Chain A
Amino acid sequence: MAADPGTLIDWSLLALSPPGWGGVLLGGLLNSIKIAVGGYALGLALGTGGAFGKLYGGPVLKDLLEVYTTLVRAIPELVLILLLYYAGTDLLNQMLAAMGYGPVDISGLAAGIFVIGVVQGAYSTEVLRGAIKAVPAGQIEAARAYGMSPAQIMRRITLPAMLPHAIPGLSNLWLIATKDTALLAVVGFSELTLVTRQAAGSTKAYLLFFCAAGALYLALTLVSNVVIRIIEARARRGMAATA
């Protein structure tokens, strides 16, 4: 270690009030969580639609979804984020211009949620498709025999029955979503990783700030793990324990 650790670690830098950067870091963490939650929710919506489309849709829809999931899973998130960020804002502004409105400044938050959501959608499509396929066909046929409409079958049978199969994959995706928010630092959205870098750059205490941010991310993951375990136990209640 260094000769004088007192000069190496200056804890007052992490203070919550302005001379310290603690408040800025927590604000960044909040932004990260916002994007992760929004993107994850959007991804789940896309994934549910995608999974049902892939399993029960027409041939054209199936092929288009296959192209979507394959492309998103084959191209690095960083490249996708740049492409979607520029293409998304550009398209929106062009559409608004065509409708006679002026260009709008799209908030980083909305763009981030859109980008993370599109990426997550491809992965959750695959997770949910696998989970739906694990539901015994007899249960769905029985529901149909009762005269339920497809929407009713989805709401009452397929979605609840597939949940225990989907939860391991979905919780994995949530953890990926929280970590993917860090990539938005590259397009300049001030989430945790970028504000950490700014804080570190202006105080030169690189190691301290990156470790602090790492601890925040780790805390987020560990808390998520606890919550996931509770949800999983609830979703699996009444099922035989698998070894």
Chain B
Amino acid sequence: MSGETSTIEVTALTDLPSGRDLLKPHRIALIAIAAVMVFCIAWFMRWDWLPEYAGRLAQGVWVTLLMLFSTASLGFLFAVPLGLVQVTGPWPLKMLAKGFCTVIRGTPLLLQLWLLYYGLGSLFPQYPEIRQSFLWPYLREAWPYGVAALTISFAAYEGEVMRGAFAGVPAGELEAARAYGMSRWKVFRRIWLPRAVHRALPTLNGETVLQLKSTPLVATITVVDVYAVISKIRQTTYLTYEPLLFLALIYLCLTAILVVAFRTLENKIPTRGA
């Protein structure tokens, strides 16, 4: 159990390099070299397109963030029952949840996305009931498919994490809550879920960073996020590197903000001992 969660922690970026000892001599030299490189990039490459597209880029970043937070929170809502059912549920539900997690985690997100968008998207118009329903205007857009695919993927990965977290809450704590006369629902709400979320928080951090890194895939189904805006810029300006470098910089900043925010959140929750 612990091995499984720790591998995810290792692979995802959950911690920024510390700024301590920033001013050792070799670091000053490295920083100087980096500064020269940044200056060269800024001076010798073409950046005149930047002001023209600034508005659209900001809009794209907004769409990316919207995608990230909506799918992460929706996915987490699905992940809690997915994890819980795998720990305590009756076996048919347990198998179902396990199968769902295995299938989603065993196939690439890009394939799932295209399956939903091209597969279901081509199937829906054949049914007049769906075409006449109030959902039809939304189902003709691309973003619901993107949200659905990203949510499902996040739920599957996070469901696996929550399973470990739920199983890892010491049985004694749950027994103590039962001994206090709490109902099962109250035990879950007051003890089990908060303890499990706390245990899963470092991994949740990693999963959210991975989710941010998955969001550009929705650009392949015509959702206009920041990646799609950059692709458009590359097509109209015939520049190869500048827009991509700028895109990398944007994602770097977003990841850094995410990691710092999670770190602050983790530090706010008091822990005893370890």
Residues of A within 8 A of B (CB): 2, 59-60, 63-64, 66, 70-71, 73-80, 82-83, 86-87, 90, 123, 126-127, 130, 168-169, 172-173, 175-176, 179-183, 185-186, 193, 196-197, 200-201, 204, 206-207, 210-211, 213-214, 217-218, 220-222, 242
How many angstroms from the CA of A176 to the CA of B38 in the assembled complex?
A: 32
Interface string of B6-23 (1 = CB under 8 A from A): 111011110011000000
How many angstroms from the CA of A173 to the CA of B12 in the assembled complex?
A: 11
Q: Indicate which residue in B11, B114, B121, B216 contacts A197 across the interface (CB closer than 8 Å).
A: B114
Q: Indicate which residue in A169, A200, A207, A217 contacts B10 across the interface (CB closer than 8 Å).
A: A169
How many angstroms from the CA of A74 to the CA of B214 in the assembled complex?
A: 11
How many A-B contacts are there with CB distance less than 8 Å? 148
Inter-subunit contact A63/B30 (CB<8 Å):
yes
Determine whether B248 belongs to the interface, using a CB cutoff of 8 Å to chain A. yes
A-B contact pairs, 24 of them (CB 8 A): A70-B16, A74-B13, A74-B209, A74-B255, A74-B256, A75-B251, A75-B252, A79-B247, A83-B244, A123-B11, A126-B10, A181-B108, A182-B110, A182-B111, A186-B110, A193-B111, A206-B119, A207-B115, A210-B111, A211-B115, A217-B106, A218-B103, A221-B102, A222-B106
Interface residues of B in 218-272 (CB under 8 A from A): 220, 227, 240-241, 244-245, 247-248, 251-252, 255-256
How many angstroms from the CA of A181 to the CA of B112 in the assembled complex?
A: 14
Tell me whether chain A's interface is mostly helix, strand or loop, or mixed.
Answer: helix
| Nearest CB of chain A from residue B100's CB, rounded to whole Å | 12
How many angstroms from the CA of A214 to the CA of B107 in the assembled complex?
A: 6
Q: Indicate which residue in A73, A90, A127 contacts B13 across the interface (CB closer than 8 Å).
A: A73
Q: A79-B247, A206-B122, A218-B107 are in contact. Are A127 and B10 (CB under 8 A)?
A: yes
Tell me whether chain B's interface is mostly helix, strand or loop, or mixed.
Answer: helix
| Nearest CB of chain A from residue B121's CB, rounded to whole Å | 8
- Chain B residue numbers with a CB within 8 Å of A82 are 244
Q: A79-B227, A179-B109, A206-B118 are in contact. List 14 more A-B contacts (CB 8 A).
A: A60-B26, A74-B13, A76-B227, A78-B227, A79-B251, A80-B248, A82-B244, A169-B10, A176-B11, A183-B217, A193-B111, A211-B119, A218-B103, A221-B102
Inter-subunit contact A79/B216 (CB<8 Å):
yes
| Nearest CB of chain B from residue A169's CB, rounded to whole Å | 4
- Chain A residue numbers with a CB within 8 Å of B119 are 200, 206-207, 210-211
Q: Which residue of B lies closest to A84 (CB)?
A: B244
Q: A60-B30, A168-B4 are in contact. Are A185 and B110 (CB under 8 A)?
A: yes
Q: A73-B12, A83-B248, A183-B110 are in contact. Are A59 and B24 (CB under 8 A)?
A: yes
Inter-subunit contact A168/B122 (CB<8 Å):
no
| Nearest CB of chain B from residue A199's CB, rounded to whole Å | 11
Inter-subunit contact B12/A76 (CB<8 Å):
no
Q: Which residue of B lies closest to A62 (CB)?
A: B26
Inter-subunit contact B251/A196 (CB<8 Å):
no
Inter-subunit contact A217/B107 (CB<8 Å):
yes
- Chain A residue numbers with a CB within 8 Å of B102 are 218, 221-222
| Nearest CB of chain B from residue A6's CB, rounded to whole Å | 15
| Nearest CB of chain A from residue B80's CB, rounded to whole Å | 23
How many angstroms from the CA of A173 to the CA of B255 in the assembled complex?
A: 21
Q: Indicate which residue in B111, B123, B248 contacts A79 across the interface (CB closer than 8 Å).
A: B248
Determine whether B3 belongs to the interface, using a CB cutoff of 8 Å to chain A. yes
| Nearest CB of chain A from residue B139's CB, rounded to whole Å | 15
Inter-subunit contact B8/A172 (CB<8 Å):
yes
User: Which one of A182, A193, A204, A242 has the greatest number of beta carbons of chain B within 10 Å?
Assistant: A182
